[in-house]
Structure 1
Amino acid sequence: MCPGPVRAEVVTGANLACVTDTPAQEFPATTEQWRAAARGSLIERLGIEIVDVSAERTTGSMPVAGNTQPAGLLHGGASVTLAETLGSIAAQQHAGPARAAVGLEVNATHHRGVRDGRVHGEAVALHLGRTTAAYEIVVTDDDGRRVCTARLTCMILGTA
């Protein structure tokens, strides 16, 4: 159940999204604003650096060190977190300040292991619609080899 006055309750998978007439927060519009908004979040804890931000293409990178599984390889969940972060930022840019983008579905294929350096992600829009946005996110290692391919679909909440 959503707290306070709401316009709609939307169930997405196991998540409940509450749509209000007043946004819960202001969404950043620039790369610098997204960097500032990441402070204190999982983005900061994983060391994700946001490089470029737009609805059509958002990029960033993350260190392998500190984001590994016990075997010393980059954790698959860290790759997916990088992918979902980049795709979600791009989807929010598409949604604009009066609306919110929430993840509906993410899937990923892990192609190779990485033990050191950084991984780099690029989220490219596949579909930018009125109510949904979809992205393909490719994660590569420092040598440009594909580490992970993910796809993210976001629902756009609020009025257009």
Structure 2
Amino acid sequence: MTETATTAGLDWAAARGMGALADKMGIEILEFTVERSVATMPVEGNTQPVGLMHGGAYVVLGESLGSMSANLHAGPGRLAVGLDINATHTRSATSGIVTGVCTPVHLGRTVTVHEIVVSDDQGRRCSTIRITNVIKDAPAAG
């Protein structure tokens, strides 16, 4: 991955935005290309009543990364939308930030599959998310 590719991907993501939910949850993109996307999210504000990171928060991070990555792959005039998502939570973060690393499993013309590994500050895997997106023509403007 080149610095130019990373910069272009970050510029694309910044122009498009991650959406209101991702903004509310404090998701920040660090790296963004078709081959690899990385974002962080604070644990604080995204917990269950008992102080553990909410499983749904892991999924929001994963879906945000996977869907955005699929849309970058889809290209102009095309739109990727979620078809299926699943998650396995193996550890609960209680403080700090979590980091999601999204990599493609399959990048097709009409279907993408991405795996997102979410780890805590100590690098321990907390959740593994897999998202499948279907790519279709974007609706006409107007």
- Give the structure-2-normalised TM-score: 0.87
Task: Give the match's secondary structure for 2:82.
Answer: strand
2:46 is equivalent to residue 76 of structure 1: no
State which of 115, 137, 141 in structure 2 corresponds to 1:158. Answer: 137
Which ranges in structure 1 are unaligned for 5 or more consecutive residues? 1-28
Q: For residue 107 of structure 2, what is the aligned residue in structure 1? A: 128
Give the share of equivalent positions with the same residue, in percent: 50
State which of 83, 92, 99 in structure 2 corresponds to 1:104. Answer: 83
Q: How far 1:32 sits from its partner (Å)? A: 3.4
Q: How far 1:36 sits from its partner (Å)? A: 4.8
AA aligned opposite 1:92: N
Q: Which has the larger radius of gyration?
A: 1
AA aligned opposite 1:104: L
Q: Name the Cα RMSD after superposition.
A: 1.6
Q: How far 1:57 sits from its partner (Å)? A: 1.1
Q: Which has the higher contact order (CA 8 A, sep 6+)?
A: 2
Which ranges in structure 2 are unaligned for 5 or more consecutive residues? 1-7
Q: How far 1:116 sits from its partner (Å)? A: 0.2
Q: Deviations over 1:40-75 (max 9, x none)?
A: 611110000011111121110100000001010000
Q: For residue 4 of structure 2, what is the aligned residue in structure 1? A: none
Q: For residue 120 of structure 2, what is the aligned residue in structure 1? A: 141
**Aligned pair count?**
131
8 Å contact from structure 2 (residues 18, 64) kept in 1: no
Large movers: runs of 4+ above 4 Å: none
Task: Give the match's secondary structure for 1:62.
Answer: strand
Instruction: Return the alpha-carbon distance in structure 2 between the equivalents of residues 36 and 71 of structure 1.
Output: 37
Q: For residue 94 of structure 1, what is the aligned residue in structure 2? A: 73
User: Which structure: greater helix fraction?
Assistant: 2
- Give the structure-1-normalised TM-score: 0.77
